[in-house]
Amino acid sequence: MNIKQLSKTQLEELYSKESAILEEYKKKGLKLDMSRGKPSPEQLDLSNDMLTHCLDGDHISETGVDCRNYGVLDGIYEAKRLFMPMMGVGRYEIIIGGNSSLQLMYDTIARAMLLGVKGSPKPWSKCERVKWLCPAPGYDRHFAICQAFGIEMITVPMLSDGPDMDMVERLVSEDGDIKGIWCVPRYANPTGVVYSDEVVRRFANLSPKAPDFRIYWDDAYCVHDLTDERAEILNILEECKKTGKQDMPVIFASTSKISFPGGGIAAIGASEENIEFMKQQMSFQIIGYDKLNQLRHARFFKDFNGILEHMKKHRAILKPKFDLVVSTLDRELSDLGIGSWSNPKGGYFVSFDGLNGTAKRIVALCKDVGVKLTEAGAAFPYGVDPRDSNIRIAPSYPSLEELEAAINIFCTAAKVAACEVLLGK
Amino acid sequence: MNIKQLSKTQLEELYSKESAILEEYKKKGLKLDMSRGKPSPEQLDLSNDMLTHCLDGDHISETGVDCRNYGVLDGIYEAKRLFMPMMGVGRYEIIIGGNSSLQLMYDTIARAMLLGVKGSPKPWSKCERVKWLCPAPGYDRHFAICQAFGIEMITVPMLSDGPDMDMVERLVSEDGDIKGIWCVPRYANPTGVVYSDEVVRRFANLSPKAPDFRIYWDDAYCVHDLTDERAEILNILEECKKTGKQDMPVIFASTSKISFPGGGIAAIGASEENIEFMKQQMSFQIIGYDKLNQLRHARFFKDFNGILEHMKKHRAILKPKFDLVVSTLDRELSDLGIGSWSNPKGGYFVSFDGLNGTAKRIVALCKDVGVKLTEAGAAFPYGVDPRDSNIRIAPSYPSLEELEAAINIFCTAAKVAACEVLLGK
């Protein structure tokens, strides 16, 4: 029976029962973490061989570069070749970076602020106001970059096939202060949404008022399928070439959740002209990223197919965890009608929407019992979820056993919080 | 006999003879490079073992961090321990970065521009004007950072024991637009100058008008002695603590010329409060630098003494190269009185000062014969050497055989250029 149809007495009963369960859990002194999209040690073990035998006595790239020494700002060719099919870009449309795509993104915005992008009338920090479109729920670290730079964030609702494009089209064509938009086009963080072909085409057809508007296309989960079905999205760079707007998209990806979160490699993709422009700006910052790690990755994975095969091993570890989370939510909360949740076909998160006004309370209740969740509101600009209902669940790090405890506690907390709201406690 | 005392006929004779030698060289189709401070392959081989057996099956740091996964923005403790004695800082006064100290420096200035440093009344990009003191000759990439950000550079002469401190003291106390100064305190690039104790103390006693003035202390050659004698300089952070100005210095170092230029690790040192402030700002940019490479370095070198021992092997390779360059300059140019040059006890360069108005010509003549040198003027702000006399010679990369040819060509070119100037050609 739906929780909203319960009588006050029934609600009080449910509340007492579930609260008692939480109390029991509290005694166990648990320490469980579902807060970040962090791969488990078991997943990291899949790439251990990369660290030992990939550089035995040979540090020379295919094109003759000694990867130990200085140089090659845009990265060695065999590393590019890994990323090119993954990101849908060509040899001259890519820069291989260091171990962090977040760093590449932050740096890209920082350069835009201090120096401007190709076609900028002036550096963005010299503009009176810089605004940004933020599809939400979205990735908290994207929003944090905007906040750090004092960029005004405008929330755009996420629909089932991507951001609300009516709103995006209208805003960028009307407001010249809007310089960018964050997108996670495939298995979006946290909703799992995959952008439809229509959404991608509408992006390629945008007519922004700002001449230096950019689409920041963070394809973080481009090979992170949880089913046998590859999520194919339209190639944003190719679509933009068709409309003559190839300088609009800037694409990011990394091996953080393919090889090692702390020691992977990241990449930027963009039009050849954009890449040339960025390289010129970047030459003041760095002589070259770690080419030894690029070589290690290229030799370990060999090619894009090697990456796809490797991802099957990740999937075998991850899928049971996602299934456990979703099936427990189904079992515990469906009949009561407490909220809704995603059942993603890829990515790293389950997005949960509880009753309005319960998200912060659920997170607090869980914390109290030793289960760490992402802060409520984190998936929204400025950390404010207007309905206080969304929670991002990250099932990857805990073991299946830990996860079972954690998600059961989560469901109990969701019931307690729902009772409290309905009882006016 | 000094070239200036030669008769016109003698000069013409010398000119013809040396020009003919250059013509002979030209026929050989040489391709030699003395342009950048780049270690030779032989030097890189010294660290090859780091790439294979340091991470065999164990990726856990001493403090229990799985170095493969996300986290630990300031780096793992064993990597800090390598750098702490090298930079003269404590455990909470350091951040271990990625493979590039240039990147750490650029990023530090970029953050100052966009967000401000600790104690900044406002971000520097919001100031009407930002000025910088640039001891020259100095490091071209330092100056390039200023130029990229539109920072106005003021040249300060380099004396034999450091920058002209009378000028530094006067300027920083008078002009609140001056926000920083570049220093390479040990074996300065390119002069090889080691800052005296008095110079370091005077730095620690500066009374800058700008409340957020910083000393950027790039200790790039801190263990790069070319003799058995360690160049010990006063600890800038400790000296600044004595004067209560511990937030003034920001120290940089890296293993680029210890392990691998393309795959080393870099670090920032500063007061604990400064480090906390920087970490907070940096948390928007990156979750953590490559900890696997930090662990690799810590295990390979073990401790600071391990680094010092390792540097002896570098020295054994480098010293004969420096000796060859200096002895050839002595032999070929001393009697003629063509210019002067450093005989550095450490670092990566020999700084050459030819007759006024000959540096560009020498570089062009060498280029013509296949010998690549750093662009004349590179060691000065905006790339302009007011006397057009300074050339930075980098002996490290070529083999001894190649170097012998290159430095002889250099001397021939110096004679030709001197004759041209004196003959008014």
Mean pLDDT for the stretch of residues B356-368: 98
Q: What is the pLDDT of residue A57?
A: 84
Mean pLDDT for the stretch of residues A289-297: 98
Whether residue B261 lies within 8 A of chain A, CB to CB, comes out as: yes
Q: Would you say B349 and B37 are in contact if contact means Cβ atoms under 8 Å apart?
A: yes
Q: How many CA atoms lie within 13 A of B418 on its CB side?
A: 26
Question: What's the token pair of residue B321?
Answer: 């190269």
Q: What is the pLDDT of residue B52?
A: 86
Give the three-state DSSP class for A63.
coil
| Best residue of B286, B299, B396 to probe chain A, by most A CBs closer than 10 Å | B286
Average of per-residue pLDDT values in chain B: 97
Whether A5 shows a pLDDT value over 90: the answer reads: yes
Q: Which of B42, B318, B79, B33 is nearest to A69 (CA)?
A: B42
Residue B148 and residue A115: Cβ atoms within 8 Å? Answer: yes
CB atoms within 10 A of CB A178: 23
Q: Is A49 left (phi over 0), alpha (psi -120 to 50) or beta?
A: alpha
**What share of chain A has pLDDT > 70, as a percent?**
100
Q: Would you say A389 and A360 are in contact if contact means Cβ atoms under 8 Å apart?
A: no
Residue A286 and residue B102: Cβ atoms within 8 Å? Answer: yes
Pairing of strands A94-96, A266-269: antiparallel
Q: Which of B376, B378, B351 is nearest to B361 (CA)?
A: B376
Question: What's the token pair of residue B2?
Answer: 């000094």
Nearest-5° Cα angle at B288, B283 to B290: 155
Whether A345 shows a pLDDT value over 90: the answer reads: yes
Question: What's the token pair of residue A345?
Answer: 């076909």
Segments in A339-388 forming alpha helices (H): 359-368
Spatial separation of the C-alpha atoms in residues B233 and A27, rounded to whole Å: 57
Whether residue A260 lies within 8 A of chain B, CB to CB, comes out as: yes
Q: What is the DSSP annotation of A394-411? A: --SSS-HHHHHHHHHHHH
**pLDDT per position as a tens digit, B112-133:** 999 999 999 999 999 999 999 9
**pLDDT per position as a tens digit, B72-81:** 999 999 999 9
* Chain A contact set for B145 (CB, 8 A): 284-285
Mean pLDDT for the stretch of residues A397-425: 97
CB atoms within 10 A of CB B159: 16
> In terms of residues, how long is chain A?
425
**pLDDT per position as a tens digit, B122-164:** 999 999 999 999 999 999 999 999 999 999 999 999 999 999 9
* Chain B contact set for A148 (CB, 8 A): 115, 281, 284
| Best residue of A44, A52, A70 to probe chain B, by most B CBs closer than 10 Å | A70
Mean pLDDT for the stretch of residues A169-190: 98
Q: Which of A253, A230, A249 is nearest to A238 (CA)?
A: A249
Q: How far is CA A374 from CA A351, A360, B184, B369, in A?
A: 11, 10, 44, 63
Question: What's the token pair of residue B43?
Answer: 């030097």
Q: What is the pLDDT of residue A406?
A: 97
Q: What is the pLDDT of residue A171?
A: 98
Q: What is the pLDDT of residue B53?
A: 81
> What is the crossing angle of helices A400-423 and A304-333, to 10°?
40
Q: What is the pLDDT of residue A334?
A: 97
Whether A54 shows a pLDDT value over 90: the answer reads: no
Residue A263 and residue B292: Cβ atoms within 8 Å? Answer: yes
Average of per-residue pLDDT values in chain A: 97
Mean pLDDT for the stretch of residues B384-412: 97
Q: Which of B205, B208, B185 is nearest to B195 (CA)?
A: B185
**pLDDT per position as a tens digit, A121-154:** 999 999 999 999 999 999 999 999 999 999 999 9
